[in-house]
Chains A and B, each alone.
Chain A
C-alpha cells in the first residue's frame, strides 16, 4: 500500500476535514452575516463528498484500518444525504429562534466526517475514533440553542449517557483485544474462524454491541432518545433521527457481519432480543404521546427494532433488507420532520399532535404529505414503508426467526395505531388555527421529494434500489 493509495481511498473524509476547517475560517471572518454563506457551502461540500464517494475504488487503506467497498459507499452516500438535508432544513428554525450561526453547519459537517470514518472502520480503533468524532460534534448541536433550558438539558443528557455507552464500548473493545490479541477486523475474523473463541471475547462483543446499539437507540439503551429528541432544537432532532442512525447501523452491520460473523449463533440471540424489545417498546410507549417529537423518538426506536431484526437474520437477504430499510426510513423521517418544522403559528413553533387538527382543510397538500409518511411508517401497502417491513420480515422468516418475526408484526399493528391517529386528527378533527403560510420553500421541496419517493417512486421503481442494496449486501458474503 503506497501513501497515495491511502489518500485516494480516504478522499471524501480528507476533503470534508479540509472543508470544515476552511468554512470555519470563513465563518469567523464573516461573523454573524456569514451563516447563510457557510451553510450553503457546507451543503455544497457534502454534495462534493457524495460525488467523491461515488468515484471511490474498493480496497483498504492505512494498514487495513480503513475500508472502502460497495456497502460502505452506499451508507456513506445515505449519511451525507441525510446530513445535507438536515442543514437545509435547519435554517428557518434557527433564524426563528435567533441562533442562526455559522457554527451549526460546520458542526454538522464535522459530525458527518465522523460518520464516514465510522462507516469505513475496519478496526476497533478506527471505529472508536469515528464514533467519538461524530458524538462530540453532536453533543454540541443538541445544546446549540444555549439559552433554552431544554436544549442544554438535552445536550447534557446525551453527552453523559453517550459517554457511558462509549465507556462500555471501550471496555468491550479492550476485552476483545485481550482475548483475541488484535483489534483489526480481518484479524479478528481469522481468529474466530480458526475456532479460537474465548468467552471473554464474546463478553467483549456484547459490550461493544451495547455501545453501538446506544447510538441507534434500541432497547434497552434507548432511554435517552425521547428526552433528547424533545429537548433538542427540532432540526437537530431531524438530524439525530437519521444520519447518526445510518452510520451506527452501518457500523453494527460491519462489526457483526465482518469480524464476528463466525459467532453468528452467539450474537444472533442478543440482536433478536434487542429487536423484539425495541419494536414492542417503541410501539406501546408511543401510544400516549402528545408531543410529536417524542412520538418520533419512539417511532425511531421501533423502526430500529425492525432494522436490527433484519440484521439478526444474519443472511445476505437480511443485510439487504437493512439497507433498503435505511433508505426508506431516511425518506420517511426526513419528510416527516419537514412537516414538523413547518408547524409554526404566528412565528412560534408548535409540536403537539393536537396542533395538527383539521390540517387537511387548511393545508391539504401538507396533510397529504404527512398522510403518506404516516401510512408508510405504519407499513401500509403500496407505500414504501410496507416494502421496508416486508423485506425485513421475509429475511427473518427465511432465517427461521418465526417467533421474533411474529412478535414484530404484531407490534407493528400496535404501532400503526399512533401513525393512523395522526391521520385521523388531520382529516377528521375540527380544524385548529392554521399554520403560518407560506411553507418555507426548502421544506416544501423536501416534503415533495420525500413524499414522491414514498409513493410512487419507490414502490414502482424498486429494481435499482433493490439491486444497489443487493450489491451492498453481497460484499459481506463474497469476501472483501
Chain B
C-alpha cells in the first residue's frame, strides 16, 4: 500500500524531471510517452488504491521524510491516504492521464512539447502533494506548487502578451487568497502549536472557545481561522470576488484549461474545506459564509455565461458556477455531496473542455462561437461526445425511479446538492437553493446555447468550415473515457458517496456528524424539490433551442435590445475587471508612478546619484579653472598650502 501510494505520487515528478531536463535528448516523442505512460500507470494504481481504501478501509499515513524541524515546529513530509484523498487521487490522475494523452494530439505542432508535457506532470505532482497532505504546511506546499504550474501553463505561449498578462493576473489574484490561507495557518499554529491535521482536529473544540483580540475587539478564534482559510479556498477555486483570473486563464492551451482550470486545481478549495470540515463544522458562522459565497458565485457566474462568445470562456464561467454549487454544499454540511459533484464535474467538465479543444482544433484555433456553426456533420464524434457532457452538466435524468432516479452524472450530484440546501431549512440554505435552481436553468441554457451556436445553424466562416476535420484518435480516446465517466459516475457513485453506503465509505475522512444530518434531511425533501432542478434544466434546453434554432427571428438580439442594462451587466462580467482596475490597479500604478518619478527619480536620484554627479561636475569645472598654467599661481598655492598647514597645526596644538 505504502509503495503503491509513493509510486502514484512520485511517478509524475520523475516523468516531469525526465521530460524537463532530458527533453532534448529523448525528443518530443520520448517526452510525450514518458509523461503519459507515467500518468497512466499512476491512474491505474490510483483506482486500485481507491478500491482498497474506499471498500476495505486500507488507508493510512505514510512518512516520506522529515521536512522542517525548528524548535517546537515540526512538519514531516507524509502521505495521508483516506477516502477523501483516494477520491481525489482517482480524479486527479485519471483526468491528468487523459489530458496527457489528448495533448499528444492537440499540441502536436507546438515547438515546445517537452516543456509542455513536463509542466503538466509537474502540476500533477503538486496536485498529488496537495491532496495527500497530512499537515497544513504540506498542503500549502502543494497549493503553491499547483499555483506555480498554473502560472507556467497559462503563460505557456509566452510570446503572446495576453497570455503573460493572464498568467500574472492568475498569480497575483491567487496571492490575495494565499495571504488569507497563510494567515489561517499561522493562527492555527499560534493557538494549537501544531500544523498536523489530526492534532488540529483534536484541538478543535478548545479553539471554538477561544478568542482573538484584534485592534481591541474580541473575535472568535475558530471562525476567524476558518474564514481566513476559506479566503484561500476562494482564491484557488475562483469564488466571487477572487474569480477574475479564471476566465483569463483560458489563454493557456486547452488541455491545461481542462486539467487545471476545470477538473483539478480549481477544486482544491473544495477539497480544503472538506479536508478541514471537522474545523468548519464547529463554526456555524463560517459555514454560513461558505454557503452564501458559494451560492452567490453559482448564480453570478451563470449569468455571465449566458452572453459570452468565446467558447472556452463560457465553459470557464460554467466551471466557476459549478464550484459555487460545491461550496454551498459544504456550507450546508453535505461534504460528501460536494466531493461527489467535484468528481462528476471533473469528468463532464474535462469532457466539455477537451471537446471544445477538439472544436478549436478543427477550426484552426478559432474560439469565437460567432464564427462557428453547422459543425455537427463535420465533426460528428466530437458533437455527440459534447452532448453527453452538456446533458450531464445540465443535470438531465429521470428522477424518482430506481430509488433515487437515473441519469447523467451531473444529474445525481447536482440534485443531491440542491436537496441538501433545501433540507438545511435555514435562511442561507434557502438562499442557496433558490439561487441554485436559477443557476440550473441558466446552466442548461448557456451550455445548450454553446452547442447550438457551434454545431447547428449555418456555418459563419466558410473557409474554416470547409477545412474542419475530426480530431485524431489520440484526442478522441480521452473524450470517450471521460464521456463514460460523465454518463455512469453519478449512478455508480451515488450510493457510496451520498446514499445509504456513505458512512462505510467515508470513514471519518470528512466531518461525520454534520454530514449525517445534512444527508438525512436531503433525502427527506418533498418530491417537488427533487423534480424542480430537472424541470429547470429541460426548460433551459428548450429555451435555448427556441432562441438559437427554432425561431426564425433573432431572439437573442431582441432580448439584448429589450434589456440593455442586464445584457451589459452580464456581457461585461458584472464590471468586476473594471471595478478592480479602478480600485486597485490604477491606484497601485499611480502610487508606483509617484514613487518612481517623484520619489526615486526626483528625490533619491535627484539629490543622490544625479545631484552628486552634477555637483562633482561643477566642482570639476572650478578645479579646472584653478589649474591656470601660470607658474606663480602654482608657487602661490604651495606657499598658501604650507602656511595653512602650519597655521592649522599651531591652532590645534594651542587647544
Contact = CB atoms under 8 A, between A and B. Distances in A.
B640 A220 contact: yes
Nearest to A165: B638
Residue of A168, A281, A284 ringed by the most chain B CB atoms within 10 A? A284
Contacts of A161: 631, 634-635, 638
Main secondary structure of the interface of B (DSSP, over half): helix
Given A161-B634, A210-B641, A199 B627 contact: no
Contact of A157 (B613, B631, B645, B649): B631
Interface string A204-243: 0011011000100001110110110000000000000000
Interface string A177-207: 0000000000000000000000100110011
Interface size, B (range): 20 to 34
Contact of A207 (B620, B621, B642): B642
B624 A220 contact: no
A266 interface: yes
Given A168-B642, A220-B640, A226 B627 contact: yes
A54 interface: no
Nearest to A282: B623
Interface in B620-655: 620-621, 623-624, 626-627, 629, 631, 633-635, 637-642, 644-646, 648-650, 652-653
B638 A223 contact: yes
Given A160-B631, A199-B653, A287 B617 contact: yes
Nearest to B627: A226
Interface string A272-296: 0100000001011111100000000
Nearest to A288: B620
A99 interface: no
A4 B617 CA distance: 60
Contacts of B645: 206, 209-210, 270, 273
B616 interface: yes
A224 B634 contact: yes
A19 interface: no
Interface string A150-175: 00000001001100110010000000
B648 to A, nearest CB: 7
A130 B520 CA distance: 112
A417 B619 CA distance: 15
A228 B629 CA distance: 10
Residue of B616, B621, B648 ringed by the most chain A CB atoms within 10 A? B616
A160 B633 CA distance: 12
Contact of B635 (A164, A199, A286, A287): A164
Contacts of A270: 645, 648-649
A414 interface: yes
A280 to B, nearest CB: 9
Given A220-B637, A223-B634, A227-B629, A285 B642 contact: no
Interface residues of A, number: 34
Given A223-B637, A269-B649, A206 B642 contact: yes
A210 B649 CA distance: 13
Contacts of A223: 626-627, 633-634, 637-638
Interface in B434-473: none
B472 to A, nearest CB: 54
Nearest to A219: B641
A288 B624 CA distance: 8
A210 B635 CA distance: 12
Residue of A206, A207, A417 ringed by the most chain B CB atoms within 10 A? A206
Contacts of A287: 616-617, 620
Given A221-B638, A287-B620, A288-B624, A206 B646 contact: yes
Contacts of A219: 641
Nearest to A203: B646
A14 B380 CA distance: 110
A221 B621 CA distance: 20
Interface string B487-514: 0000000000000000000000000000
Main secondary structure of the interface of A (DSSP, over half): helix
B648 A285 contact: no
A13 B601 CA distance: 61
Contacts of B617: 287-288
B638 A214 contact: yes
Given A157-B634, A210-B641, A284 B620 contact: yes
B649 A221 contact: no
Contacts of B641: 210, 219-221
A281 B649 contact: no
A220 to B, nearest CB: 3
A285 B621 CA distance: 7
Contacts of A285: 620, 623-624, 627
Nearest to B637: A223
Residue of B616, B641, B648 ringed by the most chain A CB atoms within 10 A? B641
Interface in A45-63: none
A89 B64 CA distance: 71
Nearest to B652: A269
Contacts of A209: 645
Given A161-B634, A199-B653, A288-B617, A269 B648 contact: yes
A139 to B, nearest CB: 14
Interface in A5-56: none
A240 to B, nearest CB: 16
A220 B627 contact: no
B653 A284 contact: no
Nearest to A287: B620
Nearest to A227: B629
A456 B262 CA distance: 59
Contacts of B623: 281, 284-285
A157 B644 CA distance: 23
Contacts of B638: 161, 164-165, 168, 210, 214, 220-221, 223
A285 B624 CA distance: 6
A203 B645 CA distance: 9
B627 to A, nearest CB: 6
Nearest to A285: B623
A178 to B, nearest CB: 16
Interface in B506-555: none
B602 to A, nearest CB: 22
A287 to B, nearest CB: 4
B651 to A, nearest CB: 11
A295 to B, nearest CB: 12
B649 A206 contact: yes
A210 B637 CA distance: 12
Contact of B648 (A224, A273, A283, A288): A273
A288 B644 CA distance: 28
A202 B627 contact: no
Contacts of B649: 202-203, 206, 266, 269-270
A202 B648 CA distance: 12
A255 to B, nearest CB: 15
Contacts of A227: 627, 629
Contacts of A284: 616, 619-620, 623
A287 B621 CA distance: 9
Interface in A136-150: none
A206 B620 CA distance: 29
Nearest to B633: A223
A294 B581 CA distance: 58
A164 B636 CA distance: 10
Contacts of B644: 220
A19 to B, nearest CB: 35
Nearest to A153: B629
A11 to B, nearest CB: 37
Residue of B631, B646, B652, B653 ringed by the most chain A CB atoms within 10 A? B631
5 contacts: A161-B638, A203-B649, A206-B642, A223-B637, A288-B617
Given A206-B645, A269-B652, 20 more contacts: A161-B631, A161-B638, A165-B638, A168-B638, A203-B646, A206-B642, A207-B642, A210-B641, A220-B638, A220-B644, A223-B634, A266-B653, A269-B648, A270-B648, A273-B648, A281-B623, A284-B620, A285-B623, A288-B620, A414-B616
Closest 5 CB pairs of A and B: A220-B641, A223-B634, A285-B623, A287-B620, A210-B642
